[in-house]
């Protein structure tokens, strides 16, 4: 859904619990993305310094519009302050209160996370179908969004890295591993055994959840299943072939939501 007469690049800032992703869009194209860790104790000046280091080709003064989505309240304030000080852009917070056309069963829309709003909006606009969106990050979320823009609900589970970190910290003889798909269902050594339990186990949990949702909510069928988030590629090969890997769904959701809000205010 490109914006008519769009002028210049647009910045999207997606603040999560583990990382912050900045993405640059222009003329309905994703030009670049940059990632930095979420540091709860960092202040305005430190984040301004970081953003200048990781994306020197896109100074903040270049942007006319910025979409800001965050699930970390303290960092929301820090980034809003930093962007307000160092850019002349119009800053649009994207959250459950944003008037972008989504409907909610939850009466308190303010409690819906910005990333969930972005995922729901992007899936609705892009796929034109009821969708089950699986976002694999610090948490693993499974959202149900209908073809007519109803945000019907979400399940939230510990993410793969979050669960694995607890296992590594509690078991003295287990060391951290790369979270990639295992070669076999059961492992022949400790490393492969952990990959099986953590990565394959997570994929099986997701597959079972999807089957249960399809069984319990037939009124919204048919569904498309979308995998997104930083760890989505780790389990994509372990999921049914009709699951769609869309790693940038959240970023597109923030971008399209911003475009919708700009269009409404024009």
Domain 10-93 sits in CATH 3.30.420.40? yes
Active site residue 189: no
Residue 169: which pLDDT band, with cuts at 50, 70 and 90?
A: low
Q: What's the token pair of residue 146?
A: 């209908």
| CATH 3.30.420.40, the chain: domain bounds | 10-93, 124-248
Question: Tens digit of pLDDT for each residue in 39-64?
Answer: 988 999 999 999 999 999 999 999 99
Closest by CA to 168, choosing from 137, 190, 184, 188, is 190
Q: Which CATH class is domain 124-248?
A: alpha beta
pLDDT of residue 181: 85
Mean pLDDT, the chain, whole residue set: 91
Q: Which residue has the higher pLDDT, 107 or 76?
A: 76
Q: How far apart are the first and last CA of the chain?
A: 16
- Per-residue pLDDT, averaged over 213-240, amounts to 95
What tokens does 34 get?
């940059």
Pick the catalytic residue from 14, 81, 115, 248.
115
Q: What pLDDT digit, counting tens, does each position of 182-210 carry? A: 888 998 888 888 888 889 999 999 999 99
């Amino acid at each position: 859904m490109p914006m008519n007469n769009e002028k210049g690049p647009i910045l999207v800032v997606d603040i999560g619990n583990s990382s912050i992703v900045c993405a640059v869009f222009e003329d309905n194209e994703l030009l670049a993305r940059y990632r930095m860790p979420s540091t709860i104790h960092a202040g305005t000046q430190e984040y301004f310094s970081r953003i200048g280091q990781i994306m020197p080709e896109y100074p903040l003064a270049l942007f006319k519009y910025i979409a800001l989505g965050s699930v970390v309240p303290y960092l929301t304030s820090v980034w809003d302050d930093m962007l307000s000080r160092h850019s002349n852009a119009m800053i649009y917070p994207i959250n459950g209160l944003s008037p972008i056309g989504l409907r909610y069963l939850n009466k308190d829309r303010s409690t819906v996370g910005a990333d969930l709003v972005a995922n729901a909006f992007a899936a609705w606009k892009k796929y034109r179908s009821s969708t089950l969106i699986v976002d694999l990050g610090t948490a693993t979320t499974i959202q149900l969004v209908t073809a007519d823009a109803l945000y019907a609900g979400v399940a939230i589970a510990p993410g793969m890295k979050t669960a694995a970190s607890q296992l590594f910290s509690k078991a003295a003889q287990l060391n951290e591993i790369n979270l990639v798909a295992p070669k076999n269902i059961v492992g022949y050594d400790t490393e492969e055994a952990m990959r099986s339990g953590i990565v394959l186990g997570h994929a099986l949990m997701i597959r079972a959840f999807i089957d249960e949702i399809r069984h319990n909510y037939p009124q919204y069928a048919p569904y498309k299943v979308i995998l997104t988030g930083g760890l989505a590629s780790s389990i994509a090969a372990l999921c049914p072939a009709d699951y769609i890997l869309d790693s940038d769904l959240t970023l597109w959701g923030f971008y399209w939501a911003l475009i919708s809000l700009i269009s409404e205010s024009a």
